[in-house]
A = this chain, B = another copy of it.
Amino acid sequence: MIMSGGVGSRFWPFSKEGKPKQFLDFFGTGRSLLQSTYDRFSKIVPPENIYIVTNDAYAEMTQQQLPELGKSQLLLEPLRRNTAPAIAFATYRIHAVDPDANIIVAPSDHLILREDLFSADMRNGLAFVEKNPVLLTLGIRPSRPETGYGYIQVEGDNGEGIEKVKAFTEKPDLELAKKFLESGEFMWNSGIFLWNVNTILNAFRSYLPDVVQKFDEGKEYFNTPREKQFVDETFPFCPNISIDYGILEKADNVYVNISDFGWSDLGTWGALHEISERDENNNANLNCKALFIESSDNVVAMSDDKLVVIQGLDDCIVAESDNVLLICKKNEEQRIKQFVTDVKFRFGDEYV
């Protein structure tokens, strides 16, 4: 179950509502983040068992990028309602296809560097959730006091590399993040989850009954021609709530597989800058041609047919897509969403 409905506004204008982050080839590899995610999972599970959950608006783009995908593998939300309703929708479909299925839930827009370790963790996790009625998260052993991620605190080692979760935390400030790192008890929450279809359905019934109540009413429609209409009618009544907040932070059967496969959620320009190749002055250039002169610590994201010449610029984001160019201090990137709102208000939808 690949979650592919995000709008990626943090990387505006490199990503836009019309073409969000997961559909972009961030690193000039020739494959978008979604395609890379699909490629990764198609080596772990039968490709026909891969479901892409996305928004109606991205149906065509998804089919263009993944022409091998069967129509029934594309689960389309009529509107955005955060991860809990999206996962509920896909869970009901998968249950209708296979009432004993073990499920991996994964974001479509993350970077994973060591696929061999990732695959081993996935296979290990699938075996674990098949035998145990638990909600298994993937926790990344932190390498730096990152303030941009949520953390998962673990209780103690159970001998299998899979530990019981003590608590989920919000993004910490730097001081707290340093303490998390020192303690060894805190893992980055990767947003990758594994569970058996019945385990997650039970959790929904316990913690988000209002989400599943509606789906239960029409559960005979899933995996039939009437599914789409039913979902379209049901989705607007679902609450806007994340799976983390709605279930994982509340359930008592949550475990974490501690992983170390070179992961980034590519959630911020700063994170992107960190993991990109950089020149001797710490300038990262994603995939265009660039000449940096007396410039340092910049990150540049332009289409690959562009040449950029930058002189006397430090600590900036330079990002472009089609009709929009953004130049912005890297440490002000949390304001980009506000810029997008301002642009929409002043200049209209065509730029966002």
Contact = CB atoms under 8 A, between A and B. Distances in A.
A342 to B, nearest CB: 6
Interface stretch (A52-60, A75-83, A300-308): A300-308
Contacts of A332: 311-312
Copies in the complex: 2
B309 A325 contact: yes
Interface stretch (A106-114, A177-185, A271-279, A315-323): A315-323
A339 interface: yes
A291 B325 contact: no
Given A293-B339, A339-B291, A342-B291, A328 B309 contact: yes
A44 interface: no
A66 interface: no
A307 B339 contact: no
A311 B289 contact: no
A306 B302 CA distance: 14
A318 B342 CA distance: 21
A37 to B, nearest CB: 30
Contacts of A339: 291, 293, 309, 311
A93 to B, nearest CB: 40
A324 B290 CA distance: 10
Given A325-B302, A327-B318, A327-B327, A343 B311 contact: no
A174 interface: no
Contacts of A308: 324-327
Nearest to A306: B323
B309 A343 contact: yes
Closest 9 A/B residue pairs (Cβ): A312-B329, A311-B328, A307-B351, A309-B326, A308-B325, A310-B327, A307-B324, A309-B339, A313-B327
Contacts of A323: 305-307
A322 to B, nearest CB: 9
Given A13-B309, A310-B327, 12 more contacts: A291-B346, A308-B325, A308-B327, A309-B343, A310-B326, A310-B328, A311-B328, A312-B316, A312-B329, A313-B313, A325-B325, A327-B327
Nearest to A329: B312
Interface centre among A310, A312, A326 (most CB of B within 10 A): A312
A335 interface: yes
A316 B318 CA distance: 14
A320 B309 contact: no
A134 to B, nearest CB: 46
B324 A311 contact: no
A343 B291 CA distance: 8
Contacts of A13: 309
Interface string A277-294: 000000000000101010
Nearest to A298: B327
B312 A343 contact: no
